[in-house]
Chains A and B, each alone.
Chain A
Amino acid sequence: DSGVTQTPKHLITATGQRVTLRCSPRSGDLSVYWYQQSLDQGLQFLIQYYNGEERAKGNILERFSAQQFPDLHSELNLSSLELGDSALYFCASSVDVGNSYEQYFGPGTRLTVT
Chain B
Amino acid sequence: GQSLEQPSEVTAVEGAIVQINCTYQTSGFYGLSWYQQHDGGAPTFLSYNALDGLEETGRFSSFLSRSDSYGYLLLQELQMKDSASYFCAVRDQSSASKIIFGSGTRLSIRP
Contact = CB atoms under 8 A, between A and B. Distances in A.
Interface of A: 2, 31, 33, 41-45, 48, 50, 55-58, 90, 92, 97-98, 100-108
A43 B86 CA distance: 11
Nearest to B102: A42
Contact of B101 (A31, A43, A56): A43
B104 A48 contact: no
Contacts of B45: 102-104
B99 A2 contact: no
Interface in B32-58: 33, 41-45, 48, 50
A42 B101 CA distance: 7
A97 B101 contact: no
Given A90-B42, A108-B42, A101 B97 contact: no
B95 interface: yes
Contacts of A90: 42-43
B48 A102 contact: yes
Interface in B97-111: 97-104
Contact of A102 (B33, B95, B101): B33
B92 A101 contact: no
A45 to B, nearest CB: 6
B30 A43 contact: no
Contact of B95 (A42, A55, A101, A105): A55
A42 B97 contact: no
A101 B91 contact: yes
Contacts of A31: 97
A96 to B, nearest CB: 10
